[in-house]
Amino acid sequence: MTSIDIIPDEPKPLVRFARMLWADKFALAAVLFLTLVLVLAVIGPTWLGEVAQKQNLRGRNAPPFEWERGWLWILGADALGRPLLARIVVATQNTMMVAGGAVFFSALIGTVLGLVAGYAGPRTGQAIMRLADVIMSFPSLLLAVVVLYILGPSILNLVIVLAITRIPVYLRTARAEVLEVRERMFVQAARVMGASPRRIVFRHILPVVLPTLMTIATLDFAFVMLAESSLSFLGIGIQPPEITWGLMISQGRQYLTTAWWLSFWPGLAIILTTLSLNLLSGWMRIALDPTQRWRLEMRGRRNG
């Protein structure tokens, strides 16, 4: 047999994913928007840092869409006459660091603990679950207030506190899914083959559980941003002159009836970011699932 050793190499995944992303225009827009957010998070403070802090009392609560002040004032100005657009751009960095950091760490720790709790023996599982119960039995805001009061407010402490309070969400979801997936036949097949528990958990179970967790994480993103703003409102979160989107919303609250744009624009930024993340996670759920992938590949072919 001459044809016997032809096993084709797998197609380059990068090209494949790019094609699938092109097929889903919503996901593509989401990726572009998130890239913009990331770029602004990196360059924002050095680029517009000064403008965003400069007060201009003659332009207090300047309404949006007035071209004569220059493009930075296009979204209006806040109660101290600082341009909103510049402030949103500058706030991106802090917001992303707090929300991204908190979501990332809570998802990471929660998922790992959840996988262990689901796959390990009942004793370890019970111990981890009771830990989650302890965290959940405190109102998360109260816990944050107490901890931040003791440790003092800083971005790092804020991330730690928010991450800890959100761990149970991932932990419980991951554990529940693992308990179901571990009974599936292919996990048994892997055990028969002699696969180590670590291999089974990360290679066979995690890929099945991951899409659910990712969807939760994107939804949690918005929650964490708003939780951070309520902490800032209580005076234990990010403190002015540092700014975040959440803080901007709460600062604009007292002017809601007279100058809606103070809270509206940062709110829109939060919504668009969360929406983009959500669209992206929806796309990833399909793109990473071989049985679903054809939906994207088919569409790409028809469009191209």
Partner 1 sequence: MAEPMLQVKNLSVEFHTAAGTVRAVKNVSFDLDRGETLAILGESGSGKSVSSSAIMDLIDMPPGRITSGQIIFEGRDLLKLSASERRKVNGHKIAMIFQDPLSHLNPVYTVGWQIVETMTAHGMSRPQARAEALRLLGRVGIPDPEGSMGKYPHQFSGGQRQRLMIAMALALKPDLLIADEPTTALDVTVQAEVLALLEELQQETGMGVLIITHDLGVVAEIADRVVVMNAGEVVETGDTRQVYRNPAHPYTRKLIGAAPGKGAMHDPLPSAEPVLSVRGARKVYGDFAAVEDVSFDLMAGETLAIVGESGSGKSTVAKMLLRLEEPTGGQALWKGQDLFAMPERQLFALRRDLQMVFQDPTQSLNPRMTVWQLITEGWVIHPGILPRSKWKARAAELLHQVGLKPEMAGRYPHQFSGGQRQRIAIARALALEPELIICDEAVSALDVSVQAQVIELLDGLRKSLGIAFIFIAHDLPVVRDFADHVMVMRKGRVVEAGTVRQIFDNPRQPYTQALLAAGLDPDPDVQAERRAARLAMAAG
Binding flag, residue 189, partner 1 (CB under 8 A):
yes
What is the enclosing helix (H) or strand (E) of 183?
Answer: none
Binding flag, residue 16, partner 1 (CB under 8 A):
no
Site track for partner 1 across 205-234, x = CB under 8 A: --xx--------------------------
Q: How far is the CB of 289 from partner 1 (least distance, A)?
A: 7
Binding flag, residue 121, partner 1 (CB under 8 A):
no
Binding flag, residue 46, partner 1 (CB under 8 A):
no
Q: For residue 11, give the 3-state DSSP assignment.
A: coil
Q: How far is the CB of 290 from partner 1 (least distance, A)?
A: 4
176 to 80, 180, 235: CA distances (angstroms): 50, 7, 37
Classify each residue of 255-281 as buried b or exposed e, where b means 16 or more C-beta atoms within 10 Å of its C-beta: beeebebbbbbbbebbeebbbbbbbbb
Only one of the segments 5-13, 104-112, 215-223, 227-235 lies at the binding site for partner 1 (rule: CB under 8 A); that segment is 5-13
State the number of binding residues for partner 1 (CB under 8 A). Answer: 32
Task: State which of residues 124, 126, 188, 254 lies at the interface with partner 1 (CB under 8 A).
Answer: 188
Task: State which of residues 121, 122, 290, 304 lies at the interface with partner 1 (CB under 8 A).
Answer: 290
Only one of the segments 8-16, 131-139, 151-159, 224-232 lies at the binding site for partner 1 (rule: CB under 8 A); that segment is 8-16
Binding flag, residue 193, partner 1 (CB under 8 A):
yes
Close Cβ partners of 22 (under 8 Å, ≥ 6 residues apart)? 28, 300, 303, 304
Instruction: Name which of 98 and 205 has its Cβ closer to partner 1.
Output: 205
Residue pair 275/30 in contact (Cβ under 8 Å)? The answer is yes
Q: How far is the CB of 214 from partner 1 (least distance, A)?
A: 15
Only one of the segments 59-67, 78-86, 165-173, 289-297 lies at the binding site for partner 1 (rule: CB under 8 A); that segment is 289-297
CA atoms within 13 A on the CB side of 68: 3
Residue 171: closest CA among 243, 113, 233, 244: 113
Task: State which of residues 119, 204, 231, 277 lies at the interface with partner 1 (CB under 8 A).
Answer: 204
Give CA–CA dist 21/43, Å, rounded.
26
Task: State which of residues 25, 54, 184, 253 lies at the interface with partner 1 (CB under 8 A).
Answer: 184
Residue pair 248/1 in contact (Cβ under 8 Å)? The answer is no
User: Which structure tokens are listed for 248?
Assistant: 């901007």
Only one of the segments 37-45, 127-135, 147-155, 181-189 lies at the binding site for partner 1 (rule: CB under 8 A); that segment is 181-189
Residue 154: closest CA among 92, 224, 94, 106: 94
Instruction: Name which of 29 and 288 has its Cβ closer to partner 1.
Output: 288
Close Cβ partners of 168 (under 8 Å, ≥ 6 residues apart)? 110, 132, 133, 135, 136
Instruction: Name which of 198 and 253 has its Cβ closer to partner 1.
Output: 198
Q: In this structure, which amino acid lies at residue 196?
A: S
Binding flag, residue 301, partner 1 (CB under 8 A):
no
User: Which structure tokens are listed for 49?
Assistant: 């840092």
Binding flag, residue 272, partner 1 (CB under 8 A):
no
User: Which structure tokens are listed for 69?
Assistant: 């002040």
Residues that bind partner 1 (CB under 8 A): 1, 3-8, 10-11, 184-186, 188-196, 199, 204, 207-208, 288-291, 294-295, 298
